[in-house]
Structure formats: C-alpha cells, structure tokens
Structure 1
C-alpha cells in the first residue's frame, strides 16, 4: 500500500523537467522510461540530491544513485560527481547508460535490472541480491503502469 501511495504521489506531482529527462533517456537508450522511473523510486525515492554514504570512497549520488566506483570511468567522458549531483537530467541519463550496459551484457530481462544495483558477479549471494532488487523494481514498475492507466485511460475515438 505504501508503494502504491508513493507511486501515485510521484505520478501526480512529477517534475516536468525530470519527466522529460526520463522520457528522453528512455527514448535514447531504448528503455521504457517507466522502468527508469521505477529504478529512481527504488534508489532514491525520486530525490535528485540524494546521497547514500557507506564510506568516504564508497557512496552513491543523485536520483539514480550513481555509485562512486563508476566515477573514474565517467570522468573519462567528462562527467564529474559534482555534475551528477547538480544536474538531474545527467544523473538520469547516466543511470540509463548503466542499465543499457546491463541489457547489452545479459539481455533485456529482470536479472539485468538486478545487475543495475548488485553488479555482475556470478555467485549465489550476488544472484540473490539481484533477484531481490529486481523484484522490488518490478513491483514498483507495475504500480507505475497501473496508476498511469487509471490516471490516463485510453481514449476510444472510434464509433460506438
């Protein structure tokens, strides 16, 4: 129930700029924007300035919770932690980039969605973390899809 309320609140009070970023990143990476939204809800509760500190060199930032272990490779592309924290759209695009990498590596499936959070190590513990994360994202994703169908029912323009 809490997830339904959170998703409903999210859908009815969405920031237009962020909505455009999810839609554009989804279009550019061929990923359902609602899947990106579901990940952002799971990762940060849609908070663009979220920071999750585990340690001084182990943290994640922004709406998509881009992890510090990615900062070196992102710096090669000119992307800094400061930019990821202060540019919500860049953060969303970067999250879509990493999800696209997972899809390219393991296919478009829920195991790849789990890899967004738990990585690609092939052991039982990581597989369980991937499964649990993907299950949570899936639950959020289905609520988003359901709520959108209630908020914007399909329009039938045909004859009655």
Structure 2
C-alpha cells in the first residue's frame, strides 16, 4: 500500500491551488495574489463552501458557491454559455470556480475601472446604496492582499 504523507498531500494541494490562481490571473489579466486574497475572504479557501444569502425577513435571496463564492445569479448565464452544467460544478471543480470568479471580477473592473472601490463590487454589486459595503469589502481584501504581496505571513 502506498500512503502519501499528510505534509506532502497538503503541499500538492497548495501547488495545485497556486496553479489555479495563476492560470485564472493570466487569462483575465488579474494579479493571482489578488484572486487568492478574494478567495481567502470569500471562503477561507474552502472549495466546498456554500453560503445562503437571506433578506431581513429570512427569505433566501441567493446562494454562493465554492472558493470564489460564485453567486447563483450567474448560474443561468454560465449554463447557457456551456461553462457549467449545474451548481455542483462550482463545488466539484475548484479551478473552474476560480476562473469564473476572475471572469466576474474582470467584467466588474471593465465596467467601473481598476480601483479598490470597483473591486468591492465583486461582493456588494453596483447599486449606489452599497457604496459603504463596497469600500468595506475592498479594505478587507486589501488587508488580505498586502501580506501576500509583501511577504508578511501574518494573516488578518
């Protein structure tokens, strides 16, 4: 029986993860470290993370899936484009999830510019009433991004 040591299995996961962020970043011209910071914020790098978004009355508004927490609002378009079959693809294919997140972010940056406030639209959308939420999200991403790019291994 061939057993892979835990530390080796973990390093392969990290290498595979780095490849996913690098590949998605190259495709959409986004810093892979920024994509990783977003995934840290969105899912704590958990490929199987699912979050249900509810209104103040507790009604389900949407669901977020995977590493990049792809919102269910995108599923019909992704299906029509032939990118996914269903929401399970967003959980079962982490690299695809990262690429879709990068694609969504790239669309946002084209719409409102390459700046931190626009980056916040990845989480808070474009509605004017969400400006504070966009800025707060951008600050959270920056707090995760800076240690990655500066080499400071402390996490927020």
Equivalent in the alignment of 1:58 = 62
Are 1:45 and 2:40 matched, yes or no? Answer: no
Are 1:107 and 2:113 matched, yes or no? Answer: yes
Equivalent in the alignment of 2:125 = 119
The normalised TM-score by structure 2 is 0.81
> Which aligned runs of 4 or more in structure 1 are off by greater than 6 angstroms?
none
**Unmatched tracts of structure 1, length 5 or more:** 1-11, 151-160
Cα deviation, residue 73, structure 1: 1.2
1:108 alignment partner, SS class: coil
Equivalent in the alignment of 1:87 = 93
Residues 105-151 of structure 1 deviation map (CA, whole Å, 9 limit, x = unaligned): 0111111210000001123xx00000000000011000111227x8x
Are 1:68 and 2:72 matched, yes or no? Answer: yes
Equivalent in the alignment of 1:36 = 35
2:151 alignment partner, SS class: helix
**Residues in 1 aligned to 2:150 and 2:46: alpha-carbon distance in whole angstroms:** 22
Equivalent in the alignment of 2:141 = 137
1:54 alignment partner, SS class: strand
Equivalent in the alignment of 2:3 = none
**Residues in 2 aligned to 1:72 and 1:112: alpha-carbon distance in whole angstroms:** 24
Higher relative contact order (CA 8 A, sep 6+): 1
**Residues in 2 aligned to 1:136 and 1:66: alpha-carbon distance in whole angstroms:** 18
**Residues in 2 aligned to 1:23 and 1:112: alpha-carbon distance in whole angstroms:** 22
- Report if the CA contact (8 A) 1:52-1:60 is conserved: yes
**Residues in 1 aligned to 2:105 and 2:62: alpha-carbon distance in whole angstroms:** 20
1:15 alignment partner, SS class: helix
**Residues in 2 aligned to 1:57 and 1:120: alpha-carbon distance in whole angstroms:** 17
Cα RMSD of the aligned pairs, angstroms, is 1.8
